[in-house]
Amino acid sequence: RQSSQGTSKKMMAEIARRAVERGEISAEAVTPLRLDTGQALLRQYFLFQGPPIPDELVVGIVDEVLVPLLTRG
């Protein structure tokens, strides 16, 4: 469990770092709590609804949660 969470956190940090480099988000918007949000929502769904996780859910988390969180300063 610890390993998979660590890998996911590293992946999200790398995605955010690249977005900062491209100027898509500001570095100030990137916080550990904001980076954990998407994973937490996926985990919540998986635990209470079970697999598979619908593509629409992933798209919704990105479009409605992560993008707004990371594009505001």
pLDDT, tens only, 15-66: 999 999 999 999 999 999 999 999 999 999 999 999 999 999 999 999 999 9
Cα separation, 53 vs 42, whole angstroms: 8
- What are the residues whose beta carbons fall under 8 Å from the beta carbon of 16, sequence distance 6 or more? 25, 30, 35, 70
Q: Is the peptide bond before 54 cis (omega within 30 degrees of 0)?
A: no
Query: Whole-model pTM?
Result: 0.79
Q: Give the per-residue pLDDT at 3.
A: 60
